Amino acid sequence: MQNPYLMFLGDVGDQLGAKTAQGIVDWRPEWCIGQLRLPNCKADLRIRDITIEEAVASGAKTMIVGIVNSGGFLPDHWISVIVEAIEAGMDVASGLHIRLSDIAEIKAAAEKNGAALFDVRHPTNSIPTGKGTPRTGKRLLAVGTDCSVGKMYTALAIEKEMHKRGLKADFRATGQTGIFIAGSGISIDAVVADFISGAVEELSPANDADHWDIIEGQGSLFHPSFAGVSLGLLHGAQADALVLCHEPTRTHMRGLPHQPLPDLRTCMELNLTTARLTNKNAHFVGVAINTSDLDEAKRQEYLAKVEKELGLPTIDPFKDGTAAIVDNLP
Amino acid sequence: MQNPYLMFLGDVGDQLGAKTAQGIVDWRPEWCIGQLRLPNCKADLRIRDITIEEAVASGAKTMIVGIVNSGGFLPDHWISVIVEAIEAGMDVASGLHIRLSDIAEIKAAAEKNGAALFDVRHPTNSIPTGKGTPRTGKRLLAVGTDCSVGKMYTALAIEKEMHKRGLKADFRATGQTGIFIAGSGISIDAVVADFISGAVEELSPANDADHWDIIEGQGSLFHPSFAGVSLGLLHGAQADALVLCHEPTRTHMRGLPHQPLPDLRTCMELNLTTARLTNKNAHFVGVAINTSDLDEAKRQEYLAKVEKELGLPTIDPFKDGTAAIVDNLP
């Protein structure tokens, strides 16, 4: 995917519907040259509103449909806007379940204008099965007690801190928002089950001995819906360093009211036991807590308690940065 | 899939190419009314050779393409035979990677004659994500130290023993050969990663309190290529009873010369730890060893040693039957 991006929000009904687009603007503001909103759009990325013509004149290469809606469909009245963007010279990328190329008008416009269509949820390359063969370079993987506890955010914040220090590091995206932010990646929960670990081996190939891949985790080994994805990802990553991500106010596994969260130590132990199948040296280097729902006193108390109990640098990457974790890398 | 079956072997080059077909004949001989072989076919199921006309006259409902070849393709000169079977009134089922419905002549013939085409590697139903919610009925899952150590064979042998005793039991197939044998199932390694555990919940729904699903396992938690599949399968199965399957002469994980096998106790411990996420009562009820490569003295010695070490009934299901394991069910 080529940047800069024009962010297309359609007419989504609330700010949450633009969560993916917001993630891109948060992490790659320099790639986002404007937003295009239809009448009645209730989301706002707080970047300038521009037309397709203005976007192209400003150098936009790809229009991003960075929208989440239930069902993953594309409303009919968005099609003509997407066709217009293609005719104006842009590629189009979407994180919806429906494929852009499955919509006849969009497919025809892309073929006629030589535009590329990216459906980031749908892996395109043929992926081999994982091999588990050790490869050069170093890898860090963010793992979690649950889904949506800040694994992507943590990985991106670690990459940013490493770049600030002039270290060689690449964020490796395994979900749709991450793919838009990185400009590439594999939506790991959408590959065929046999190829989970193979996809991660492809995503994070052999590299310089002092290079770090900072790999976005998915799900949790303790989530009954998605643990298979998490385990294949862990084995494929051959992680040298693990970071545990947690949201302390969560009362049950996301989407499953009957399912309790694991305690942090139990979660670390199972991740370590299984990670060591493909990397004997795997170990935890830090803990990242999403403390957004705690007041400052509770937040400090909680971080201090976890740091003492686990003996690992414990931070909220959003509020404290990730320097303490990067300091602890092997 | 409706039985009885006509077994189509094409002109495969050796007996191994008909491994899937042989599995069906071994376990469902009463469904297999004959084999159809092309000139130069090197495989033989040792059932009668019949023509398509004879098969239909004998009541055959489905022609099974029970062939394994590298690449999973369908040789061009088989197409006309498949079309002929459809025109004679049969459905067709295939375990190849290529879909029957992707071959224009076969698709057209099926539409014209109202025949069903089954591509057992390709899940057709839309599958929800797993929920982990406890469901009624009991479940046994065969798990392994590695791929291809006898998990399907063990599960089928347990189902057979339970039926002999008049117990309520259904073999639940998770791979292509198993699906042909059961007449239904889901090829679990072919579902999209997000839906592994959900697929097993679908495959093995709530049932009578005294009913057992005997679920075919796949891969191994210790196989770096496929462990994600094995974990999702374990969580979806909510197994009450686990049977450990092992092949004692294996020197490394199948296909991965660098990867050692886990010892039996380590393998059991990780399966128990992870199984208990969705069923607190999960426990091992027996060990099934494939002793085909051991002489009788070594075989007896090995079984006795494992039985003593693990404190569980330890048998070769092919030579000893599974009565000792069924005796040990809760």
Question: Which residue out of B203, B225, B265, B270 would a mutagenesis test of the A interface target, given it has the greatest number of A Cβ atoms within 10 Å?
Answer: B225
**What is the arithmetic mean of pLDDT over B205-221?**
98
* Interface contact A228-B226, CB threshold 8 A: no
Q: What is the per-residue pLDDT across A171-229, written as a single tens digit (0 to 9) for each? A: 999 999 999 999 999 999 999 999 999 999 999 999 999 999 999 999 999 999 999 99
Residues in chain A closer than 8 A to B189 (CB atoms): 192-194
**What is the arithmetic mean of pLDDT over A126-153?**
95
Nearest to B197 among A130, A224, A258 (CB): A224
Rounded Cα–Cα distance for residues A214 and A162 (Å): 10
pLDDT over threshold 90, residue B71: no
Rounded Cα–Cα distance for residues B182 and B171 (Å): 7
Query: If pLDDT is split at 50, 70 and 90, which confidence band does B298 have?
Result: very high
* Interface contact A130-B225, CB threshold 8 A: yes
Domains and CATH numbers, chain A: 5-119 (3.40.50.720), 138-327 (3.40.50.300)
**What is the arithmetic mean of pLDDT over A289-295?**
97
Rounded Cα–Cα distance for residues B287 and B299 (Å): 14
Q: What per-residue string of b and e applies to A97-132 under the rule 16 or more CB within 10 Å gives b? A: eeebeebeebeebbeeeebebbbbbebeeebebbbb
Chain B closest CA to A303's CA: distance in Å? 27
Helices (H), chain B: 19-27, 52-57, 76-87, 104-113, 151-164, 176-182, 196-203, 227-237, 264-275, 296-310, 317-320, 323-327
SS3 assignment, position A170: strand
* pLDDT value of residue B279: 98
Query: If pLDDT is split at 50, 70 and 90, which confidence band does B211 have?
Result: very high
Nearest to B132 among A131, A224, A278 (CB): A224
How many CA within 13 A on the CB side of residue A246? 24
Residues in chain A closer than 8 A to B130 (CB atoms): 224-226
* Interface contact B194-A190, CB threshold 8 A: yes
* Interface contact B189-A193, CB threshold 8 A: yes
Nearest to A224 among B130, B189, B222 (CB): B130
Q: What is the DSSP code (8-state) at residue B66?
A: -
Residues in chain B closer than 8 A to A257 (CB atoms): none
Nearest Cα neighbor of B243 from B157, B142, B322 is B142
Comparison of pLDDT for A19 and B233, the residue scoring more: B233
* Interface contact A228-B273, CB threshold 8 A: no
* Interface contact A228-B232, CB threshold 8 A: yes
Question: Which residue out of A225, A263, A266, A270 would a mutagenesis test of the B interface target, given it has the greatest number of B Cβ atoms within 10 Å?
Answer: A225
The whole model's pTM is what? 0.93
SS3 assignment, position A201: helix
Nearest to A258 among B133, B190, B230 (CB): B133
* pLDDT value of residue A213: 98
Chain A closest CA to B236's CA: distance in Å? 7
Tell me the ipTM for this assembly: 0.91
* pLDDT value of residue B168: 98
Looking at every residue in chain A, the average pLDDT score rounds to: 96
Distances (CA, A) of B286 to A112, B268, B290: 63, 11, 13
Nearest to A228 among B229, B270, B273 (CB): B229
Residues of chain B in Cβ contact (below 8 Å) with chain A: 129-133, 188-194, 196-198, 221-222, 224-233, 235-236, 256, 258-259, 270, 273-274, 277-278
Distances (CA, A) of A26 to A154, A163, B197, B279: 13, 17, 34, 41
**What is the arithmetic mean of pLDDT over B276-298?**
97
Looking at every residue in chain B, the average pLDDT score rounds to: 96
Burial status of residue B169 (CB atoms within 10 A of its CB: 0-12, 13-18, 19 or more): buried
* Interface contact A132-B224, CB threshold 8 A: yes
Distances (CA, A) of A112 to A100, A104, A124, B214, B258: 15, 12, 21, 54, 50
* Interface contact A224-B278, CB threshold 8 A: yes
Distances (CA, A) of B298 to A154, B271, B314, B320: 54, 28, 14, 15
Strand residue runs (E) in B113-222:
117-119, 138-144, 169-172, 212-215
Rounded Cα–Cα distance for residues A7 and A225 (Å): 32
Q: What is the per-residue pLDDT across B88-102, written as a single tens digit (0 to 9) for each? A: 999 999 988 889 999
pLDDT over threshold 80, residue A18: yes
Phi then psi for A96, rounded to 5 degrees? -75, 160
Q: Number of CB pairs < 8 Å for A and B?
A: 126
Chain A closest CA to B189's CA: distance in Å? 5
Rounded Cα–Cα distance for residues A179 and A199 (Å): 14
Task: Find the residue in B nearest to A231 (Cα).
Answer: B228
Residues of chain A in Cβ contact (below 8 Å) with chain B: 129-133, 188-194, 196-198, 221-222, 224-233, 235-236, 256, 258-259, 270, 273-274, 277-278
Cα angle A168, A172, A176; round to 5:
150
Strand residue runs (E) in chain A:
5-10, 32-37, 62-65, 91-94, 117-119, 138-144, 169-172, 212-215, 241-246, 283-289, 314-315
Q: What is the per-residue pLDDT across B123-172, written as a single tens digit (0 to 9) for each? A: 877 889 999 999 999 999 999 999 999 999 999 999 999 999 999 999 99
pLDDT over threshold 90, residue A156: yes
Rounded Cα–Cα distance for residues B19 and B3 (Å): 19
What is the edge-to-edge ordering of all strands in the sheet holding B32-37? B32-37, B5-10, B62-65, B91-94, B117-119
pLDDT over threshold 80, residue A69: no
* Interface contact A194-B226, CB threshold 8 A: yes
Return the number of other C-beta atoms located less than 10 Å from residue B272's C-beta. Answer: 15
Nearest to B130 among A225, A233, A258 (CB): A225
Chain B closest CA to A284's CA: distance in Å? 20
Task: Find the residue in A nearest to B235 (Cα).
Answer: A224
* Interface contact B222-A277, CB threshold 8 A: yes
* Interface contact A197-B278, CB threshold 8 A: no
Question: Which residue out of A192, A194, A238 would a mutagenesis test of the B interface target, given it has the greatest number of B Cβ atoms within 10 Å?
Answer: A194
Distances (CA, A) of B104 to A248, B62, B91: 56, 20, 16
* Interface contact A190-B188, CB threshold 8 A: no
Question: Which residue out of B229, B256, B269 would a mutagenesis test of the A interface target, given it has the greatest number of A Cβ atoms within 10 Å?
Answer: B229
* Interface contact B274-A228, CB threshold 8 A: no
The token duo for A48 is: 């300038």
